[in-house]
Structure 1
Amino acid sequence: MLEGLIKGLIDVALGGNNNDRDRDRDDNQPRDERSRSSWAEVVSGDQQDKEQKEEWQSEGSRFSNNKEEVEPWQDESSNHRRPRKEQYRPQQQDYESETFNTSNRPNKSDEDNNDGWQTVGKPSRQTHKVPKDNWQSYKRPSDEQEYSNEVEVGARIEPSHDELADLSRACEKLWDLDLNRLVPTKDYEIDCGEGKKVYQKEDMAQGSLFTWVSDDVFRKPTYARFLSLLDNYNPHQGSKEVVTSEEKQEQVSFIEEISRTAPIKYLHKLLASKGITSGSYQDFKRILTSLWFDLYSRGGTSGSSSAFEHVFVGEIKQTSEVSGFHNWLQFYLEEAKGRIDYQGYIFPRRRGEIPDSETQLLTIQFEWNGVLKSVSSTLVGVSPEFEIALYTLCFYAGEEDNHIQLGPYEVNIKCYRLGNRIGSVFPIADS
């Protein structure tokens, strides 16, 4: 008994018996494994914050003190700077296999099949695939394309005398003809968060701008063909674009699809009546394709930009600023992939006009791939054909400032020209 007592005292003095040490080693093993961060942990947890701090560079994105957006050909101010993350270098993606965060509505099967995508930064939403089964078919030759039926609108697409004489009347008619415009809270939902001044650095949005968008939206033909174009571009200004034959087919197919809708049919009738284009609809479709997709020089590199890329996709300037990027669908997809950090809306010029979940003209601030867009305006929920028609009309029949009425919104469509090209065009909430 004495020997056992002595042995027990020795074990205690040495820190326990061998079995206890083995148990401690087993308990420590999972912690060791958890300390080796997986990819998912790196992009979603504290490890990500640590790595991002190491990646951030000393130079920053410039802020504009103006309420209106600063484009490359305007004067710029840079009184405020902030650190930025390393610029994102896009890789060609197989959109058939991508998963996006598109809804906060639970769906267990979607959680189990996310193909590795995970939203970073803001609180994540439920993930599921955006329906894109037919997107590859958009790359097929023209004789293998299938399009929607022509929209029957009858006399509605004939511009009136007032609409021919008044650009605002014509733009308001386009708004009425946008049969594919979405309904807030029915087709999608947004959370505007809190407001801020343009120069404020604080992030005033706890979550993402978009809460969810209905799957049915992505099955609309003009929406689906528009979305298929968004991965065709390198957003870094000055990078020469390489357009493949398949991408050219996507461009032509998109124009053909939207040409079957009421806004584009009306646009052609109006421009032809004013003598701006010919009466040939085929010629008109070729003009639209050239206007929006022909490449031109921006940032000193020929063939590096186009009207479509700048206005709808967005570009990152060498001075670490985002220019262009005025489309809500592009914003939604980039936000769902975790590439956009929504930081709140910009206070309206009119007191009391605070945006809510049903507002369809928003002025916001966000970071895209770590680069700041201090002020950006966009029409939310409008169809691709409406935006193409609206901006094309203002380019051909308007001025640099085009003060118009769109439904309940007083808007200035700002239109900058680069010779006979669209340099930039975007909406501004009128004061």
Structure 2
Amino acid sequence: MVDPSPAELDDIKLAAQKLWTLDENRLKPGVDYAVNLQSGKSMWQKGDAASDKLFKGVKKDTWTKPTYVIFYNLLDNYERETGVSESETAQEKKEVNDFLDACLRTKVMQYAHKYCAERGVAPADAAGFKKVLQQMWFSYYRRDGGGNDSCGFEHVFVGESKGESITGFHNWIQFYIEEGRGNVDYLGYVRPKYGRDAADDEDRLISVQFAWKGEEKNVSTFFVGTSPEFELALYTMCFLCSEEEKTFLEIGPYDLNIVCYRIRSKYGDKVATAYPDLIGEDPSNALANLTL
């Protein structure tokens, strides 16, 4: 069922848990992909704590899933440097349209749509909701002076270079692809703020330190193995249903905040950033015993 219950409509934590159970395209650790976390560090520690790559591999048939394939096609549509104006070709517009259509055919996005509509923050019709997604994720805006050089999707799922540092870049698929191309150097995982001191290779939410084409990011947190539509749906729900910058959730054994910042617009707010902030682990969480 993709209809939110009254309890879920009253508590976004329950809605996020429901969204997790609906993610049919989520990959299984040790089956569909494998990682090698190696050594941990604090976000302020420098140096390379990982001699090997983060990802050992991802199963080939992952790239037959429609949302994964179209998501992959979007990743090369953007200028890496902030301050450099973005332009969009007819083919790139089609890829965005195809991606949103593919996401809207999945249970997680259908649930997110119904949830937001029943909360009164999104249109009830699919075409209207698609326009909301287009506006908030793919409409360009100015991030670093000059022309329109950024959008929410680019920042969150692809990443950007600003000066000598990396901003955004909160997606495991982009990390896997760029690491495979030799553009990302994994420098070790960042220990959670609370909970156990070490992570393991089956964790589904990790914080990492890395360099992308020579420019470092002290910490970036992302889900691992989740589908593109799950992340888009989760961030969309938090963005639309809360004016707060942080939305506290419990997903599996993880306590986390979804952090959202917005660009105000008379046509509808745009995503400045959205990402998970891993607080720690609590095995007593309601979904801790689900298969992660």
TM-score, normalised to structure 2, is 0.92
1:375 matched to which residue of 2?
219
Query: 1:141-156 counterparts in 2 under 5 A?
Result: 156=1
1:332 matched to which residue of 2?
176
1:170 matched to which residue of 2?
15
1:206 matched to which residue of 2?
51
Quick check: 1:395 aligned with 2:244?
A: no
Query: 1:223-372 counterparts in 2 under 5 A?
Result: 223-318=68-163, 320-372=164-216
1:18 matched to which residue of 2?
none
Query: 1:99-178 counterparts in 2 under 5 A?
Result: 156-178=1-23
Are 2:192 and 2:279, in contact at CA under 8 Å, matched by a contact in 1? no
Deviation at 1:221, TM superposition (A): 0.6
The count of corresponding residues between Structure 1 and Structure 2 is 275
Structure with larger Rg: 1
Distance 1:348 1:286 in 2: 37
2:289 matched to which residue of 1?
none
2:37 counterpart letter in structure 1: C
Deviation at 1:309, TM superposition (A): 0.3
1:394 counterpart letter in structure 2: C
Distance 2:30 2:138 in 1: 33
* 1:84-106 C-alpha deviation (Å, 9 max, x unpaired): xxxxxxxxxxxxxxxxxxxxxxx
Match 1:190 to one of 27, 35, 39: 35
Runs of 4+ in 1 over 6 A off after TM superposition: none
Distance 2:22 2:271 in 1: 24
1:273 counterpart letter in structure 2: E
Quick check: 1:422 aligned with 2:292?
A: no
CA RMSD of aligned residues (A): 1.0
* 1:36-61 C-alpha deviation (Å, 9 max, x unpaired): xxxxxxxxxxxxxxxxxxxxxxxxxx
Taking structure 1 as reference, are residues 351 and 280 closer, same or farther at Cα in structure 2, changes over 3 Å only? closer
Distance 1:343 1:232 in 2: 27
Deviation at 1:353, TM superposition (A): 4.4
Are 1:311 and 1:426, in contact at CA under 8 Å, matched by a contact in 2? yes
1:375 counterpart letter in structure 2: V
Greater helix proportion: 1
* 1:307-343 C-alpha deviation (Å, 9 max, x unpaired): 000000000002x110000000000000000000000
Distance 1:269 1:240 in 2: 35
2:215 counterpart letter in structure 1: V
1:366 counterpart letter in structure 2: F
Deviation at 1:352, TM superposition (A): 2.5
Are 2:81 and 2:161, in contact at CA under 8 Å, matched by a contact in 1? yes
Are 2:38 and 2:49, in contact at CA under 8 Å, matched by a contact in 1? yes
Quick check: 1:222 aligned with 2:67?
A: yes
Distance 2:13 2:195 in 1: 25
Q: Secondary structure at the match of 1:157?
A: coil
TM-score, normalised to structure 1, is 0.63
Deviation at 1:268, TM superposition (A): 1.0
2:283 matched to which residue of 1?
none
Deviation at 1:278, TM superposition (A): 1.9
Q: Secondary structure at the match of 2:240?
A: helix
Distance 1:383 1:299 in 2: 30
Distance 1:402 1:284 in 2: 22
Deviation at 1:290, TM superposition (A): 2.0
Deviation at 1:356, TM superposition (A): 1.1
Match 2:25 to one of 180, 194, 198: 180
Q: Secondary structure at the match of 2:149?
A: strand
Are 2:135 and 2:270, in contact at CA under 8 Å, matched by a contact in 1? no
2:273 counterpart letter in structure 1: S
Deviation at 1:350, TM superposition (A): 2.5
1:413 matched to which residue of 2?
258
Distance 2:259 2:230 in 1: 16
Taking structure 1 as reference, are residues 282 and 349 closer, same or farther at Cα in structure 2, changes over 3 Å only? same
Distance 2:222 2:152 in 1: 16
1:383 counterpart letter in structure 2: S
Deviation at 1:215, TM superposition (A): 0.4
Deviation at 1:184, TM superposition (A): 0.2
Distance 1:170 1:392 in 2: 12
Distance 1:347 1:274 in 2: 36
2:236 counterpart letter in structure 1: T
1:428 counterpart letter in structure 2: D
Distance 2:278 2:122 in 1: 30
1:323 counterpart letter in structure 2: T
Distance 1:197 1:275 in 2: 41
1:212 counterpart letter in structure 2: G
Are 1:403 and 1:430, in contact at CA under 8 Å, matched by a contact in 2? no
